[in-house]
Structure formats: structure tokens, C-alpha cells
């Protein structure tokens, strides 16, 4: 990896700043008497009957499908995927039972980086309808001068273009940036552009330690 000083650190939201909302779908599967993995397939995987084979969740995250349309499609696809119908209200209840949980040690480290003059950006795959919730969960505007939401720009990770766009908005070359994400595909795509990466684990203390080791090794260049 590049030995040049780090000028910017780019953070994912879900799984990095917040605890993943959908990291464990087993409870709802057990509650509904469904096979393990079936809810994940319904929510996130492509419909074999769809001509473009793009998952609806990806369309939601790039703003080409509304959340209402996404829920309608869940209900429509459920018999094929689950073997029985499902009520969209079940999804709403499931989601509301999993409030956003912020990993405050990560937020405190972000604040320290801001105070040190390191460039910062938030890069998230998200839905337009979720913006009010996640943006209210911690002081986004105070900490991040650059926020790239997939549903606003029409691109989603791991598309290389969204990483390039983020670096451009921050005003740094990819090789001067560090990116933190809990998704291995996103990390791999960023690394291919020359961005140094941290594959985030559930232990936020380990995440901060790994980031600090990179910053210690390379040093920082305030912006």
C-alpha cells in the first residue's frame, strides 16, 4: 500500500458507525417458521424471474425503486422464495424492532480526526426513505463535510465510480485515502483503486486500533 500521508478517511455507515441492522435474520425466520437464509434471499438477492436479475434492494439503494415499491415486491415474491405469502407489515414490525445503535467510540475517533484536520467523508449504500433516521442518529453534518449517499448519486458500492466520486468531492487522490467498511466486496473494490482499507469487524475497538496503526505508519497530512 501507498506510503504517502493519509489526507482523508472515508467511513461506511451501517456496520461501521452503526451496528448492522440486518446482521442476524435468524430470529424472524424462527418466529415465522421459515428455513434459515430464506428471509435474506427475499430481502437482498435477485429474483430469478426478473429479466435484469438485479436485486430489488440494489434498486432501492440507487434510488430507482421506492421503499413502497420494494415492499410491494417483497409481498409479490414471497410465495416463490419462501413458499408462502408474507405480509409487508411483518417487515415493518421486524425493522422497527431493530433501532439504530451507534458505536460511539467510532464517532469519537471521527471527531478527533476532524479536529486534527484530516479530511473526512461518509460513503453509504442507503435508501432515500431511510435518510431521516440515520442522519438523526449521530451528528453527521458536524463531522462530515462530504456525505455520499448511494440513493442520491445513483451509484452504489462496490461500483468503483462511487469511490472515485467520493475522493473527488473530498479533493484527494485515492492513494491518499483510507476506507472503512464491513463488506468485503466494497473493501476489495476500494483497494483495487489504491485506497487503503480496513475490513471492519464487530469489535469497534479493533477497528479503531487498525485504523490508528495505518495512520501511525503513514502519517497524516491535514487539509
Q: Residue 96 pLDDT > 90, yes or no?
A: no
Q: Which domain holds residue 85?
A: 26-96
- The model's pLDDT over 133-144, given as tens digits with 9 standing for 90+, comes to 999 999 999 999
Query: For residue 58, what pLDDT band results from cuts at 50, 70 and 90?
Result: very high
Question: Which residues 6+ apart lie within 8 Å of 166 measured at CB?
Answer: 10, 121, 123, 146, 148
Q: What is the rounded CA–CA span in Å between residue 3 and residue 219? A: 9
Query: For residue 2, what pLDDT band results from cuts at 50, 70 and 90?
Result: low
Question: What's the pLDDT score for residue 100?
Answer: 85
Same domain? For 112 and 54 the reply is: no
Question: What's the pLDDT score for residue 30?
Answer: 85
Q: How confident is the model over 12-22, as a mean pLDDT?
A: 92
Q: 139 vs 34, which has greater pLDDT?
A: 139
Same domain? For 84 and 113 the reply is: no
Same domain? For 71 and 32 the reply is: yes
Same domain? For 147 and 50 the reply is: no
Mean pLDDT for the chain overall:
92
Instruction: Map residue 119 onto helix, strand or coil.
Output: strand
Q: What is the rounded CA–CA span in Å between residue 67 and residue 52? A: 19
Same domain? For 141 and 185 the reply is: yes
Same domain? For 181 and 213 the reply is: yes
- The model's pLDDT over 112-121, given as tens digits with 9 standing for 90+, comes to 999 999 999 9
Same domain? For 123 and 79 the reply is: no
Q: What is the rounded CA–CA span in Å between residue 214 and residue 198? A: 9
Question: What's the pLDDT score for residue 51?
Answer: 67
Q: Residue 223 pLDDT > 90, yes or no?
A: no
Question: What's the pLDDT score for residue 28?
Answer: 79
Residue (of 116, 107, 152) closest to 13 by Cα position = 107
Question: What's the pLDDT score for residue 93?
Answer: 64
Cα within 13 Å of Cα(168), Cβ side: 7
Question: Which residues 6+ apart lie within 8 Å of 60 measured at CB?
Answer: 66, 67, 70, 127, 151
Same domain? For 125 and 191 the reply is: yes
Q: Residue 48 pLDDT > 80, yes or no?
A: no
Q: How confident is the model over 182-187, as a mean pLDDT?
A: 97
Amino acid at each position: 500500500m501507498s506510503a504517502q500521508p493519509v489526507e482523508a478517511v472515508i467511513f461506511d455507515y451501517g456496520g461501521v458507525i452503526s451496528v448492522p441492522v440486518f446482521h442476524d435474520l435468524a430470529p424472524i425466520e424462527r418466529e415465522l417458521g421459515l428455513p434459515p437464509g430464506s428471509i435474506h434471499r427475499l430481502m437482498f438477492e435477485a429474483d430469478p424471474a426478473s429479466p435484469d436479475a438485479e436485486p430489488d434492494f440494489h434498486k432501492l439503494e440507487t434510488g430507482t425503486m421506492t421503499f413502497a415499491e420494494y415492499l410491494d415486491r417483497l409481498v409479490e415474491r414471497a410465495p416463490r422464495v419462501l413458499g408462502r405469502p408474507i405480509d409487508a407489515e411483518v417487515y415493518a414490525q421486524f425493522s422497527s424492532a431493530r433501532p439504530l445503535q451507534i458505536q460511539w467510540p467510532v464517532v469519537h475517533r471521527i471527531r478527533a480526526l476532524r479536529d486534527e484536520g484530516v479530511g473526512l467523508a461518509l460513503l453509504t449504500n442507503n435508501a432515500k426513505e431511510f435518510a431521516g433516521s440515520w442522519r438523526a442518529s449521530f451528528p453527521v453534518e458536524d463531522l462530515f463535510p462530504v456525505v455520499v449517499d448511494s440513493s442520491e448519486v445513483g451509484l452504489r458500492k462496490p461500483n468503483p465510480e462511487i469511490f472515485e466520486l467520493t475522493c473527488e468531492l473530498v479533493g484527494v487522490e485515492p492513494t491518499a485515502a483510507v476506507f472503512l467498511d464491513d463488506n468485503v466486496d466494497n473493501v476489495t473494490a476500494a483497494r483495487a483503486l489504491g485506497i487503503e482499507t480496513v475490513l471492519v469487524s464487530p469489535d469497534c475497538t479493533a477497528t479503531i486500533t487498525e485504523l490508528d496503526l495505518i495512520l501511525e505508519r503513514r502519517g497524516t497530512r491535514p487539509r
